[in-house]
Amino acid sequence: MTEPVPEGADTEALPPAPRSRFSILVTAVCSIVVAVYIGLPLGPLLRDASPLTQLERPVESLQRLVTRELDLDEAMRQGPRWQWRLYWFLNGGDDPRREARTSYEEVVNAVDSDAAFLGWTILLAESRQTRRAQDAIAHWEERGGGATRMADWVRAAYFGPPPGRETARALIGEIREGLEPDWFADTLVERIAARVGDATDGGRAKAAVLARGTALAGRVRALWALVTILLAGGAVALVAALAGRGMTRVADAPLPPEWSTADGYALFVRVLGGPQAIVLGAYFLVRRVAALDGALSLAADLPVFLWVGGYLHRRDASACATFGLVPRRDGWAPLLGVTLILVAVALVSDAVIDTSSTLLGVRAHWADGFSEDLLWASRWTFVTNTFATTVWAPVIEELTFRGLLYATLRTRLGVAPAALLSAVVFALPHGYAAAGSLSVLVSGVLWALAYERTRSLLPGLLAHSANNVLSPLWLVALLRA
């Protein structure tokens, strides 16, 4: 903030206030890039396009998701009653087989895949939709080749007279040789074995499902424990804050900031649009290598620090003071407390959004926000993308959307409208459907309010990082590991 001029001082001797001159042309170009970047995800949403179009391996991804969920469901049903009740409640009381059948039907209509057709037919039969399953088999047999053999497996497991003992053993051998050892394969084997009285093969298949599900249940319990600890920590911190025993000021970042609205806007569009332009240009100049996508995105963000640091240096300011990146001596406890509150509130809000969506019949699509890289990528790509998601992205996004956008909006708007508008701009590029976008919007508002109250980007940054860890942690623990 500008110091007041002492009365009687020689104003002509004072140096002019520092000004930063941004190229109008560069600002205009970056504004166009930002507009495209923010608006591009809206295209599929406005066209009501399926999130399946965003996946490169929809059949394999859905199969991994469904088979793990059904293994887990079986183990939960066989486990302690409290565990099953909690699992049922957290999943909205939905039947995983019904949801899986709906998802597979969509994939079957979009992708020509024998594996998808087999999974859909098994789910139809398991749901006692006999006529639809038989019609599907009759249509499937017309394809010939491997499809005919798969149709024979389903028919032997569910329809018509039971096969002979030798025929059943031969079919079980074909299933074991032709399919991965997952819920679909073991369910087929168990049903065929049960029809011919083969307790040995049937028992092995059922035990395999239960063993995989029990391992997954152990991971789920560990994740439940982690979430419980975070919620408890947030509740304790909130009670302490409401009781007045803990201050919320972490640092002393100036809000509204010391730059003009025009400077803030010019810097924001450069920081947000510049990396996108760099990545786009790199894809045009060099052949895309999927394994290097994460590294390229990280490298493209490096100029952000040069642009922001250079601008602040010309104004004799530092990033640490401007964004409150170094806590005050008495700011460490508030930093921990506010971070825990933000994490807990985000967890509760996500649960409320998910439950409300279920009650309103607006279930999130399984592929909405589904990260195939975390599931199928090589170890190098997995590590790079995990670092980018949990460490790099929170730093860049908090600096961009709260440190620059929210702060610049505060030069003209109050706290509430600035927080909401910055959160909307933050949510749009994610390209999620209604529930996912609302979750990001709520988080954006929370982190902006935390910046205003604590005068530091650190609580929002740490909460953002925690949120980005928890979301893929479920995917990695249940689907990749």
Q: 280 exposed, middle or buried (CB, 10 Å; 0-12, 13-18, 19+)? A: middle
Tens of pLDDT, residue by residue over 21-55, are 788 999 999 999 999 888 877 655 555 567 788 88
Res. 418: pLDDT tops 70: yes
Res. 302: pLDDT tops 70: yes
Instruction: Evaluate whether residue 6 is within a structural domain.
Output: no
Mean pLDDT of 453-461: 97
Say what percent of the chain tops pLDDT 70.
91
Same structural domain, 180 and 280 = no
**What is the per-residue DSSP string for 277-325?**
HHHHHHHHHS---GGGHHHHHHHHHHHHHHHHHHHHHHTT--HHHHHT-
Instruction: Evaluate whether residue 7 is within a structural domain.
Output: no
What is the predicted pLDDT for the residue at 480? 87
Identity at 115, one-letter amino acid code: A
Task: Determine the Cα–Cα distance for residues 426 and 433; give it in Å rounded to an integer.
Answer: 14
What is the predicted pLDDT for the residue at 10? 43
Task: Determine the Cα–Cα distance for residues 226 and 424; give it in Å rounded to an integer.
Answer: 30
Q: 38 exposed, middle or buried (CB, 10 Å; 0-12, 13-18, 19+)? A: middle
Structural domain of 85: 53-218
Q: Which long-range contacts (CB under 8 A, 24 or more apart) does 2-7 make?
A: 2/258
Same structural domain, 119 and 160 = yes
Specify whether the CB–CB gap between 406 and 422 falls below 8 A.
yes
Instruction: Evaluate whether residue 68 is within a structural domain.
Output: yes
Instruction: Evaluate whether residue 22 is within a structural domain.
Output: no
CA angle 370, 437, 238 (to 5 degrees): 105
Instruction: Indicate the number of domains in the chain.
Output: 2
Same structural domain, 66 and 162 = yes
Mention every residue, 6+ apart, whose C-beta is less than 8 A from residue 203: none
Question: Residue for token digits 């793990």?
Answer: 68
Question: Residue 13's pLDDT band (boundaries 50, 70, 90)?
Answer: very low
Between these two residues, 308 and 3, which has the higher pLDDT value? Answer: 308
What is the predicted pLDDT for the residue at 277? 85
**What is the per-residue DSSP string for 183-236?**
HHHHHHHHHHHHHHT-HHHHHHHHHHHHHHHHHHHHHHHHHHHHHHHHHHHHHH
What is the predicted pLDDT for the residue at 290? 56
